């Protein structure tokens, strides 16, 4: 069975994350104890990947509630919330819900400013905002809903990813070689990942698969994180530089390409790690299936097409420096978009927890979201 990676969790009143900037060299957990630290961890990619960012943000709101309670009567008695043990309603009784609500909204607004592209961040914060803004004035019920919603976002994600894996594994035959980009694995999420969940699931079913993983500049999520996960799971993995993917695909060495997604528009256009569009384009030229694996939470029905997706531009130091060593001469400009948009006509299918969506995307996505009985 595949190895679960404890990317992000809420343990003993703290948001616990793996510091992904240090992987694979150092495998270190950080216990974040204030919302500023959670926001900073998201911004600096200590925690990254669209679903993991959503969970971390939800937990950031819960952490703010934890800290508000600790300042009052509940302080000094140790942690209040924990995903494994839940919480003791007695401990929250003294809470001034009105005062608390304003601080939690401030926390939500702080967290919303961290990264613009991943839609899961905003969806998770929307769920938390509805809980925070509820009419409920009984502290036990109020706190119970906030904690419950945060834990639910996390646990539902794990189940969703398991189903994505199973739905995607039907497309994988024994002996296939899969190419992936960036990290759409357990480290990007809280379960088995999205694109990598498909690979883990196929492997658990006894299918022997090989993986080409793009190193994924500038932050090398493929070389560092995907390689780390796949190796832990005993999957035959070969790292290539991003620009080699095109000739590797052209040479017939790849049967299928699967990536994750950071935001999917209502027409199926998909924002994902910079480089994804180029891969999809090359797959199209050689008739290699290009698939996206993503939970329904990655779909942004308010965004009609890829043109409306805001692409985060990150600091040029990601290109000019490596571990503090300057690569690019001083005075030279950089342009460092973190994502690109793959138009849906280059996508062979989108693997979700419900089904594999195929073209025509606009129609089929609408059906999945709005059909009766859903």
Positions that interact with a second copy (CB under 8 A): 24-25, 212, 214-218, 220, 223-224, 227-228, 230-231, 236-248, 250, 274-275, 277-278, 281-282, 285, 316, 319-320, 322-323, 325-329, 331-337, 340-341
Distance from C-alpha of 211 to C-alpha of 257, rounded to nearest angstrom: 10
Q: Choose the catalytic residue: 262, 269, 300, 340.
A: 262
Q: Which two tokens stand for residue 127?
A: 């769920």
Paired with 300 in beta bridges are 265
Closest to a second copy by CB, 275 or 295: 275
Closest to a second copy by CB, 58 or 178: 178
Helix (H) or strand (E) run with residue 35 in it:
helix 35-43
Closest to a second copy by CB, 62 or 211: 211
- The overall longest dimension of the chain from CA atoms, in Å, is 67
Residues 6+ apart with CB under 8 A from 325: none
3-state SS class at 99:
helix
**262 an active-site residue?**
yes
Q: How far is the CB of 199 from a second copy (least distance, A)?
A: 15
Are 138 and 128 contacting, i.e. CB atoms less than 8 angstroms apart? no
Q: How far is the CB of 172 from a second copy (least distance, A)?
A: 20
DSSP 309: P
Q: How far is the CB of 316 from a second copy (least distance, A)?
A: 8
Dihedral angle computed from the Cα positions of residues 111, 117, 118 and 119, in that order, rounded to the nearest 10 degrees: 90
Closest to a second copy by CB, 14 or 263: 263
Distance from C-alpha of 336 to C-alpha of 274, rounded to nearest angstrom: 9
3-state SS class at 11:
strand
Residues 6+ apart with CB under 8 A from 333: 316
Q: How far is the CB of 25 from a second copy (least distance, A)?
A: 6
Closest to a second copy by CB, 113 or 328: 328
Q: How far is the CB of 124 from a second copy (least distance, A)?
A: 27
Q: Which residues are catalytic?
A: 262
């Amino acid at each position: 069975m595949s190895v679960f990676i404890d990317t992000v969790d809420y343990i003993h009143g703290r948001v616990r994350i793996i510091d992904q900037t240090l992987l694979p060299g150092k495998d270190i957990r950080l216990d974040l104890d204030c919302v500023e630290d959670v926001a900073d961890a998201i911004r600096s990619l200590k925690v990254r990947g669209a679903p993991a960012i959503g969970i971390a943000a939800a937990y950031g709101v819960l952490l703010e509630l934890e800290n508000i309670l600790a300042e009052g009567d509940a302080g000094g008695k140790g942690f209040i919330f924990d995903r494994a043990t839940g919480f003791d309603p007695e401990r929250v009784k003294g809470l001034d819900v009105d005062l608390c609500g304003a601080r939690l909204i401030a926390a939500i607004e702080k967290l919303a400013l961290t990264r613009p592209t991943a839609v899961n961040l905003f969806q998770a914060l929307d769920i938390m905002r509805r809980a925070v803004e509820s009419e409920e004035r009984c502290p036990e019920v109020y706190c119970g809903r906030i904690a419950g919603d945060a834990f639910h976002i996390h646990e539902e994600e794990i189940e969703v990813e398991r189903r994505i894996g199973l739905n995607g594994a039907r497309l994988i035959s024994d002996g296939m070689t899969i190419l992936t980009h960036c990290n759409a694995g357990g480290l990007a999420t809280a379960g088995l990942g999205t694109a990598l969940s498909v690979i883990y699931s196929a492997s658990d079913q006894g299918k022997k698969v090989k993986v080409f993983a793009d190193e994924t500049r500038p932050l090398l999520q493929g070389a560092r994180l995907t390689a780390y996960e796949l190796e832990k799971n005993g999957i035959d993995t070969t790292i290539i530089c991003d620009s080699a993917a095109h000739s590797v695909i052209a040479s017939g060495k790849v049967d299928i390409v699967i990536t994750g997604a950071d935001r999917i528009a209502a027409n199926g256009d998909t924002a994902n790690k910079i480089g994804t569009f180029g891969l999809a384009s090359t797959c199209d030229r050689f008739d290699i299936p290009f698939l996206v694996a993503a939970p329904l939470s990655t779909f942004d029905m308010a965004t009609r097409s890829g043109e409306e997706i805001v692409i985060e531009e990150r600091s040029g130091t990601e290109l000019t420096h490596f571990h503090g060593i300057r690569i690019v001469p001083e005075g030279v400009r950089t342009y460092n978009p973190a994502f690109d948009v793959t138009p849906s006509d280059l996508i062979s299918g989108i693997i979700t927890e419900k089904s594999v969506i195929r073209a025509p995307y606009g129609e089929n996505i609408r059906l999945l979201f709005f059909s009766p009985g859903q």
